Amino acid sequence: MANILSPDALQFVVIGVFLLTIGALIVSHKRPSFIFSLTTLALLLCGAVDIDTVLDNATNQGLITLLLLLIISHAIDKTALLKRIARKLIVQNYTQSFLRLFGISFFASALLNNTAIVASLIGSVKQNQHHAASKLLIPLSYAAILGGTVTLIGTSTNLIVDSFLIEQGHPGFAFFDFTLFGLTAGLICGGVLFLLKDWLPTINPGQQTDSGYLLEAEVAPDSELIGNTVEQNHLRNLPELFLAEIVRNDQIISPVAPDEVIYAGDKLLFSGNVQKVEALSHIKGLCLFAEYNGLMREELTEVVISNRSSIIGKTLKKVGFRALFDAAVVAIKRDGETLSGKLGEITLQSGDFLLLATGKDFQQRNNITKHFFIVSEQKISRKLSSKQDWLTIGGFLTVVVLAAANVVPLIIGLLFFLALLVMLDVTSYAEVKRNLPLNLLLVIVGALSLSSGLVNTGVIALLTDELSSTLVHTSPLMALVAIYVCTLLLTEFVTNNAAAALMFPFAWALIETMGLPAMPYALAVAFAASASFISPYGYQTNLLVHNAGDYQYKHFVKMGLPISMVYSSIVIGMLNWYYL
């Protein structure tokens, strides 16, 4: 088809593909990865790009760096550090809770993936007993967005713009090119957000109808919980897990009061989302039922007790479950009923859901199908050893410091660090493959290909010629404002990564037309693409807290509009002062 279309017709086709891509991102419910994949195919079909260009885009250095960071962030998320901090963030004093939450989210997001930070902290905020979650979740998201703009690796958007710069033959961003502007704007906006705290809505969550699985954990003699109350131990702040009962000397304590003191040997009964069970494993001296049966593993098997099973009407203790099935029960769930008491003493019924940690012989036992229907396999995060914890955190910080000091390039440091994590058994090849962000890869390759198509067919050159006469008398500041505002408006309708990818080619055309320095305009695109405060849909962290806090669209508009105005004014003013 490339031989059939004239150059002028090809330009119209590429412009049409560009406009259709933006329209689909705004109005379609399809994933951006799907839309950008179609964009790439359309460009290949019409001859605007060739397959070599697409493959070159897929091996872009900035893109590879981003993929390595996201894969490594999953390994760092396994460490105990953030989980221990999350339990202790929310206290009775709102100001202290706000400052703690904002501080940890802001500064952690400068180095780690900000979406992962919010996902890790959101459960503790929702479960806290002191303040309505809606008073803290928007600040949590905004803090992560602001913190992500402090360094090159704080958000995927920065690395996407970096990949575009490298594609144009520019050296790309240095590690701290964002820091002066991002740190200043972020801390000032944090202060404004605190001053506007009374604008945050108080939303009471709806009543939970499903109590989920019942999990049992025993307090060991050396536990850090002993002698402290439930509130002092922050056992009410666990993500999606609720402390339902305490069994002490065969006596059930329910409901559990905040001032109830924890003793050695107590059995703590939690109900909720069993996939959050790793939050319990990071509490020193708290041992899950399956752990003291010796079978706690990363992969769990969910089964339903068959109506033909002989274990119906018996307890796990009487059945001798471990010996009979080479499996230990992690948790039990019964539809339509709230379970009570120690797991080993619950009388089993037909239809009960059991979550099993299985041994090597489980699949070979010929009695499994007689007693159970296997429903699914569930993965939980495996607890790391103390040595693995420190090596993971220390290794990552070492890579960051070496990259920031220009001793070792970031991509090389991350590559060797990932290999080290595999060798230390912190992660595995299977986990690396599973955590590969394919959707983001397709978005960036599609966006880079679209940029290549706009350049190859002369659309950017045509735009440059048209702009020359218009912008010759325009000041660099007005050009900066135009780039920033266009990107900011676009990011409220499409995702931050898509907004950066779509706006960069036009920013680059403006830079070349006016003979301007690349850095302030590339930074403007990156900062504006991340400045999605007004809409719950433009940024991943906003979407996470929007659902968790039962917010309405108007709540983001009310809080986000002043934050966006302050943030934008500071960024534009400082970029103009520093570069222009």
Q: Same domain for 191 and 116?
A: yes
Q: What is the pLDDT of residue 580?
A: 78
* 161 in any annotated domain: no
* 160 in any annotated domain: no
Q: What is the pLDDT of residue 207?
A: 46
Q: Same domain for 401 and 503?
A: no
Q: How far is CA 246 from CA 167, 220, 420, in A?
A: 60, 14, 42
- Choosing from 379, 397, 416, the residue where a domain stops is 379
Q: CB under 8 Å to 130, separation ≥6 — which residues?
A: 90, 91, 92, 94, 97
How many domains is the chain partitioned into structurally?
4
| Token pair of 27 as six digits | 């109005």
* 237 in any annotated domain: yes
Q: E strands, 222-349, where?
A: 241-248, 251-253, 267-272, 286-288, 299-305, 327-333
* 264 in any annotated domain: yes
* 168 in any annotated domain: no
Give the orientation angle of helix 137-148 with respect to helix 540-548, to 10 degrees: 170
| Token pair of 211 as six digits | 């109590």
Q: Same domain for 461 and 573?
A: yes
Rounded Cα distance between 269 and 510, Å, is 62
Is residue 274 within 8 A of residue 329, CB to CB? The reply is no
Q: What is the pLDDT of residue 290?
A: 59
Rounded Cα distance between 316 and 323, Å, is 11
φ, ψ for residue 292, nearest 5 deg: -80, 5
Q: Same domain for 550 and 472?
A: yes
Q: What is the pLDDT of residue 188?
A: 96
SS3 category, 68: helix
Q: Same domain for 511 and 560?
A: yes
φ, ψ for residue 490, nearest 5 deg: -65, -40
Q: Same domain for 317 and 363?
A: yes
Rounded Cα distance between 121 and 105, Å, is 8
Rounded Cα distance between 152 and 159, Å, is 7
Ordered per-residue pLDDT tens for the chain, 580 residues? 445 678 778 888 888 988 888 888 778 777 778 888 899 999 999 888 889 888 887 887 777 887 888 888 878 877 877 777 777 788 889 999 999 999 999 999 998 878 778 877 887 788 777 888 899 999 999 999 999 999 998 888 898 898 888 888 888 898 899 999 999 999 999 999 999 999 999 887 654 444 578 888 888 888 889 998 888 888 877 777 888 888 888 888 888 888 899 999 888 888 877 767 767 777 888 887 656 555 555 567 888 888 778 889 888 888 888 888 888 888 888 876 778 778 888 888 888 888 888 877 777 777 787 888 777 666 555 667 778 888 888 999 899 889 888 888 888 999 999 999 999 888 888 788 877 888 878 887 887 788 788 878 888 777 766 666 666 567 889 889 989 998 998 888 777 877 888 888 888 888 887 888 999 999 999 999 999 898 887 777 887 888 778 888 889 999 999 999 999 999 999 999 999 7
Q: What is the pLDDT of residue 292?
A: 52
pTM of the predicted protein model: 0.73
φ, ψ for residue 296, nearest 5 deg: -65, 125
Rounded Cα distance between 48 and 34, Å, is 19
- In terms of residue numbers, what domain contains 321? 299-379
Q: CB under 8 Å to 335, separation ≥6 — which residues?
A: 351, 353
Concatenate the DSSP letters of all residues of 236-271 into one string.
T-STTEEEEEEEETTEEE-SPPTTPBP-TTPEEEEE
Concatenate the DSSP letters of all residues of 447-467 into one string.
HHHHHHHHHHTTHHHHHHHHH
Q: Same domain for 26 and 46?
A: yes
Q: Same domain for 452 and 509?
A: yes
- CA dihedral 16→18→24→26, nearest 10 degrees, is -120
Q: Which one, of 163, 165, 141, 167, lies nearest residue 440 by Cα?
A: 163
Q: Same domain for 428 and 442?
A: no
φ, ψ for residue 315, nearest 5 deg: -95, 165
- Choosing from 358, 379, 400, the residue where a domain stops is 379
- CATH code for the domain in which residue 323 is found: 3.30.70.1450
| Token pair of 374 as six digits | 């296997």
Q: CB under 8 Å to 383, separation ≥6 — which residues?
A: 78, 80, 278, 281, 282
Q: How far is CA 414 from CA 276, 298, 407, 432, 461, in A?
A: 28, 25, 13, 13, 37
Q: What is the pLDDT of residue 470?
A: 67
Q: What is the pLDDT of residue 571?
A: 96
Q: What is the pLDDT of residue 379?
A: 58
Q: Same domain for 339 and 355?
A: yes
Is residue 297 within 8 A of residue 281, CB to CB? The reply is no
Q: Which one, of 572, 487, 535, lies nearest residue 141 by Cα?
A: 535
Q: Same domain for 259 and 309?
A: no
Q: Same domain for 196 and 120?
A: yes
* 319 in any annotated domain: yes
CA 270 and chain centroid, separation: 25
Q: What is the pLDDT of residue 187?
A: 96
